[in-house]
Amino acid sequence: MDKGKKLLRWQDPTKGEPLPVIRVNQLGYAPELSKKVVVTVDGDYTLTDGNGTEIRHFPKVETKPDEASGDRVAMLELGALAPGTYTLAGGGERREIEVTGRPWQAVTNALIKGLYYQRCDELTEEHAGVYKHPACHTGLVEEWRKPEPPIPEEIKAKIPPHFLRLLSIPVEEPYGEAPAPRRIKGGWHDAGDYGKYVGPGAVTVGHLLYAWKLFPQGCSDELNIPESGNGVPDILNETRFELEWILQMQRADGAFYHKLTTDHFPPFIMPEEDTRQEYLSPISRTATGDAVAALALAARVYRPYDADFADKCLSTALFGWKWLAEHPETRPYRNPFELQSGMYGDADDHDERFWAACELYATTGEEEYREAAEGFYREVRKLTLFGWADVSGLGALCCLFDLKEKGGELLYDDLKQAFLRRSEWALLVSKASGYGTAIPATDYVWGSILTAMSNAMAMIMNTLLTGREDMRDAALVQLDYALGLNALDISFVTGYGERQVMFPHHRPSGADGIEMPVPGLISGGPNGKMNYPNVKDRLANVPPAKHYIDETEFADMNEIAIYWNSPTVFTAAYFNGLTAE
């Protein structure tokens, strides 16, 4: 994809290996949109075109310290440029800059196709090429019914207090007789592991369906997936694969199981080799809220293509809502003691209930859901969050771009003002960073890419509402960040960029014996907090934006996840759509 350019090797920040003076979006820039580059050395910089003619001159550029990276940096705006290959020279180095008509089309498609590679299914050579694998996780699944063992006192004494508090949360009770073991088909593997989790899956569906609703011109290409050519855009075909799985995750009483996983993470084996028993975990209120929301949204999106499917999504969502309404109290999910796959614990379910009520109101128009949405709206405040833990932003998407005036005083006027105020913060965070990255220097967490992409989504939504170019340009810098404009000079998307992630914490990529990782997956990126103990020393004096190691072992810095791909799809689809002919 890189026109024969040689791939550069990752430079280990823990060894202080040198990086280029000039940092760029490694996939290039669009002629008419903003073009930010970052330089790390003071002095004069010049931009020349393919004929060697000087196009821009930046005299006496002065760098300033950047807190998150510890680098000295200055950001340059290259301005409007005709398509071509340019060279930026300065600081004793030169770097090529590509300006092309649709610079992000391939990566947008790849990020959607990346989800196809996560399918819990056979991947055929026709669609997956060398990344093909036989069907996986084909056994009968059982509901987790093991009684919680009392924790022995001597173990209790060693458990940290916050964990003990967690263990005092009751596990949700099973319902009725244990269902007979059965097959549950499909769904995406969540991340580098093979677990499938309802909440994170539903959130991913939300990002993708809104990307398609708002920017169809940016994400409707064919992707060579099994359904391609069936008259439905492939982004919807791919998303339906997850929805079909979510539909199977409803318990007999309407609640949704939190997840379907083995009892602990498997080693680095191919998915078809992971043949241990899979369990339906206890249900959760957050998973139920998310599933209801995603299914209610799907009922609107898929109706023109398949009314039966839309009806099924809606009736399943309504049954889930009934359960939620009958269980109004909050109870966070906790893993049973011996079920040690990902937890996705979340102490607050108001935002999930809010998103669900908004989508049900938008789909049915019934007062009952408007009242519920208004009630929960009073409890949610973080309207720019779009991650697995806080989905208020997805509710905001529904209110601002689907319900619009139908939302009335509270769900439209008030919410819009609150949203616009909060999205200013995303811009401020971006402006405070030398690289323009919308991640606070003190907040490089596990999956920091989600913070950058959530803020990009918020700034894009702001632009759609206000037409503001500063918001749009700062959102674009988040896409640039993902594709190389960062303190590590790395593109976090596998298969894309001059210096790209090569060793994501992703079981198939680690186990398939193929040099290049599975393409179109985005790494969680630098994590300045809560690093694995075995790496603490190695990262001791490294600033947070460089707390990153491109080695397979480190889930805390280099895992991929479906819900990191999807907000990047939203962001990339917007900008790709702006460049569409």
DSSP category for residue 218:
G
Which strand (E) or helix (H) includes residue 65?
strand 64-65
Q: Which is nearer to Zn ion, 95 or 507 (CB)?
A: 507
Q: Which is nearer to ligand 9MR, 28 or 336 (CB)?
A: 336
The DSSP string of 106-136 is: HHHHHHHHHHHHTBSS-B-HHHHGGG-B---
Q: Rounded to the nearest 5°, which phi and psi values hold at 239?
A: -65, -35
Q: Which does 136 bind (CB under 5 to 8 A by kind): ligand 9MR, Zn ion, none?
A: Zn ion
What does the binding site for Zn ion look like in residue numbers (CB under 5 A)?
Answer: 120, 136-137, 271
Give yes or no for a contact between 115 and 122, defined as CB atoms under 8 angstroms apart: no
Q: Which does 137 bind (CB under 5 to 8 A by kind): ligand 9MR, Zn ion, none?
A: Zn ion
Give yes or no for a contact between 90 and 22, defined as CB atoms under 8 angstroms apart: yes
CB neighbours of 565 closer than 8 A, spacing ≥ 6?
Answer: 111, 112, 114, 115, 204, 520, 521, 522
Encoded one letter per residue, x for contact with ligand 9MR by CB under 6 A and - for no contact, window 179-218 reads -----------xx-x-x-----------------------
> Is 447 an interacting residue with respect to ligand 9MR (CB under 6 A)?
yes
Q: How far apart, in whole angstroms, are the C-alpha atoms of residue 50 and residue 508?
A: 41
Q: Which is nearer to ligand 9MR, 400 or 555 (CB)?
A: 555
Q: How far apart, in whole angstroms, are the C-alpha atoms of residue 196 and residue 200?
A: 9
Minimal distance in Å, beta carbon 334 to ligand 9MR?
13
Residue of 256, 321, 369, 446 interacting with ligand 9MR (CB under 6 A): 446
Q: Which does 240 bind (CB under 5 to 8 A by kind): ligand 9MR, Zn ion, none?
A: none
Q: Which does 190 bind (CB under 5 to 8 A by kind): Zn ion, ligand 9MR, none?
A: ligand 9MR
In single-letter form, the type of residue at position 547 comes to H
Residue of 313, 441, 561, 562 interacting with ligand 9MR (CB under 6 A): 561
Residue number, nearest CB to ligand 9MR: 342
Strand, coil or helix: 183? coil
Q: Which is nearer to Zn ion, 201 or 393 (CB)?
A: 201
Q: Which does 567 bind (CB under 5 to 8 A by kind): Zn ion, ligand 9MR, none?
A: none
Compute the C-alpha angle 47/48/53, nearest 5°.
Answer: 140
Q: Which does 103 bind (CB under 5 to 8 A by kind): ligand 9MR, Zn ion, none?
A: none
Minimal distance in Å, beta carbon 117 to Zn ion?
11
> Is 559 an interacting residue with respect to ligand 9MR (CB under 6 A)?
yes
> Is 555 an interacting residue with respect to ligand 9MR (CB under 6 A)?
yes
Q: Which does 278 bind (CB under 5 to 8 A by kind): ligand 9MR, Zn ion, none?
A: none
Read off the tokens for 425. 């913060």
Minimal distance in Å, beta carbon 185 to Zn ion?
10
Expressed in angstroms, the distance from the first to the final Cα of the chain is: 21
Read off the tokens for 78. 């290259």
Encoded one letter per residue, x for contact with ligand 9MR by CB under 6 A and - for no contact, window 336-355 reads ------x-x-----------
Q: Which does 120 bind (CB under 5 to 8 A by kind): ligand 9MR, Zn ion, none?
A: Zn ion
Which among 435, 542, 523, 549 has a CA at the least distance from the CA of 487?
435
Q: How far apart, in whole angstroms, are the C-alpha atoms of residue 559 and residue 394?
A: 24
Q: Which is nearer to ligand 9MR, 127 or 258 (CB)?
A: 258
Minimal distance in Å, beta carbon 326 to ligand 9MR?
29
Q: Which does 489 bind (CB under 5 to 8 A by kind): ligand 9MR, Zn ion, none?
A: none
Q: Which is nearer to Zn ion, 136 or 403 (CB)?
A: 136
Which among 508, 507, 485, 483 has a CA at the least distance from the CA of 494?
483
Q: Which does 302 bind (CB under 5 to 8 A by kind): Zn ion, ligand 9MR, none?
A: none
Q: How far apart, in whole angstroms, are the C-alpha atoms of residue 10 and residue 498?
A: 10
Strands (E), 43-190: 43-48, 54-61, 64-65, 72-77, 84-90, 93-99, 142-143
Give yes or no for a contact between 37 and 78, defined as CB atoms under 8 angstroms apart: yes
Residue number, nearest CB to Zn ion: 120
Read off the tokens for 189. 């593997």
Minimal distance in Å, beta carbon 542 to ligand 9MR?
19
Q: Which is nearer to ligand 9MR, 318 or 449 (CB)?
A: 449
**How does strand 259-261 pair with strand 196-197?**
antiparallel
> Is 290 an interacting residue with respect to ligand 9MR (CB under 6 A)?
no
Give yes or no for a contact between 382 and 350, defined as CB atoms under 8 angstroms apart: no
User: Would you say how long the chain is, in residues?
Assistant: 581
Read off the tokens for 544. 């947070």
Q: Which is nearer to ligand 9MR, 165 or 421 (CB)?
A: 165
Minimal distance in Å, beta carbon 555 to ligand 9MR?
5
Give the count of residues interacting with ligand 9MR (CB under 6 A): 11
Q: Which does 559 bind (CB under 5 to 8 A by kind): ligand 9MR, Zn ion, none?
A: ligand 9MR
Which among 447, 290, 422 has a CA at the least distance from the CA of 354?
290
Give yes or no for a contact between 501 and 490, defined as CB atoms under 8 angstroms apart: yes
Give yes or no for a contact between 494 and 521, defined as CB atoms under 8 angstroms apart: yes
Q: Which is nearer to Zn ion, 135 or 325 (CB)?
A: 135
Q: Which is nearer to ligand 9MR, 127 or 259 (CB)?
A: 259
**How does strand 142-143 pair with strand 279-280?**
parallel
Q: Which is nearer to Zn ion, 42 or 512 (CB)?
A: 512
Q: Which is nearer to ligand 9MR, 256 or 321 (CB)?
A: 256
Minimal distance in Å, beta carbon 570 to ligand 9MR?
17
Residues in a beta bridge with 133: 123
Read off the tokens for 93. 């180095």
Minimal distance in Å, beta carbon 559 to ligand 9MR?
4
Q: How far apart, in whole angstroms, are the C-alpha atoms of residue 188 and residue 118?
A: 5
Q: Considering only residues 9-38, where is the footprint of ligand 9MR by CB under 6 A?
A: none
Q: Which is nearer to Zn ion, 117 or 215 (CB)?
A: 117
Strands (E), 369-517: none
In the complex, which residues of this chain contact ligand 9MR (CB under 6 A)? Answer: 190-191, 193, 195, 342, 344, 446-447, 555, 559, 561
